[in-house]
Amino acid sequence: MAFTVTDWLVIAGYLLFNLLIGFYYRSKAGNSTEDFFISGRDVSWWLAGTSMVATTFAADTPLLVCGLVATQGISGNWIWWSFCLSGMTTVFFFARYWRRAEILTDVELVEIRYGGKPAAFLRGFKAIYLGLLMNCFILGWVTRAMVDIIAVVLGPMIAAGRELTLTVGSHSLFHYTLGDPRHTALAICIFVLVPFTGLYTFIGGLWGVLVTDLFQFALKMTMIVVLAWLAVAHLGGMHALKLQLSAVDTATRAAGIPTSNVLSFLPDFRTGVTTANVWTLPLLTFFMYLGVQWWASWYPGAEPGGGGYIAQRMFSAKNEKHSLGATLWFNVAHYALRPWPWILTGLVALAIYSPHGGLHPNEAFAANPQQGYVMVLRDYLPPALRGLMVAAFLAAYMSTIGTQLNWGTSYLVNDFYRRFLVRQAGEHHYVLVSKTITVILVL
């Protein structure tokens, strides 16, 4: 996948625009921790809700959905669609109460609700566990996905062993030979993307994160729709896609692998409680998702009753109506609108790269179906759009990183440092500490 000068200029322009947003909102973020972490409780529902959607659109999310479609069909997405039950409960029962609580973090509610030393200990423990340990874990897994994307998209160029040299006169200041694609991709994430995201988060606080999320979400949604449309058009339209999937189904059965309908929205109820069929969910698993998982699991962005960065956006809303509206928009966009371009691209990847009847069988896809999304991008996106698509993946990655940095810092400052270490300092002191901890999390 060759990149032109125009592609690189598009990517550079995207990065610069994000930085300018952070600088624009620096004055709003520096007055108090309320301004830095919840934007002074002055955010409209559409901005808060779009930020929720953008944050849950990480770099790994399209890859995950593509992998689910390739192995379990459309019905495999019930592993996360089941969280819609929790999300709608949050909309109609909890969103107003979160905003009414007038708190800075959801962890703060623990001590207010229960009181006493045990509650204070739990508040401090959750601040460290979620703000530092869990936060770093989440940063690690989305970075791993971004490494996979960069390695596939830029892999041929990296593997070619190109040398990067920075010289002044006759003196060489920097020399680096691109080697293993994954190692170079990891270096790009660690030394370029994460520090860059940390910079505009450091400068602009939650305002910077929210507005960059809005810009990033518009870019991401536009490009995933364009990719899905182009991928389906390459096969000749929806009817041709269905015919090719039927051919893949026939070839898979001929190989001795039982199948179900890959296009089915619900699991194959004819297979019984358990099944070895591909492209469906076992009914036992499906009922566990609907009966237990949605209320028993803690998942970033889908905590039962709301929490984490979803609660942070509700705290930032202008009033209770805006809090409810933001959460409703998030759930509609997250579960009903956004997945379908990913699913279409995943079906195209299966039709093209399947080892059983695919148009161009691919061993890498057979070993890791999640890579199918990036392979479609690499093979069928026109050169003029490649820079924009890479910028969209950068947006997906950076929106999650920016939120995690600001959200994790809010726990460490408000629920640990301010609660247990320095309790009587001024607001400017806590803002300075917040920025310092943001830098530490980046490192």
C-beta separation of 29 from 193 below 8 A: no
Percentage of the chain lying above the pLDDT 90 cut: 49
C-beta separation of 181 from 23 below 8 A: no
Rounded average pLDDT over 137-166 = 75
Of the listed ranges 94-98, 163-167, 269-273, 337-341, the one predicted with least confidence: 163-167
Domains and CATH numbers, the chain: 5-442 (1.20.1730.10)
Identify which of 5, 62, 87 has the alpha carbon closest to the alpha carbon of residue 375.
62
Provide the pLDDT confidence category of residue 245 given band limits of 50, 70 and 90.
very high
* Nearest-angstrom CA–CA distance, 153 and 268: 36
Position 337 scores a pLDDT of 92
DSSP 87-102: HHHIIIIIHHHHHHT-
Identify which of 343, 364, 354 has the alpha carbon closest to the alpha carbon of residue 148.
364
Percentage of the chain lying above the pLDDT 70 cut: 93
Rounded average pLDDT over 410-428 = 92
C-beta separation of 60 from 397 below 8 A: no
DSSP state of 259: B
C-beta separation of 392 from 243 below 8 A: no
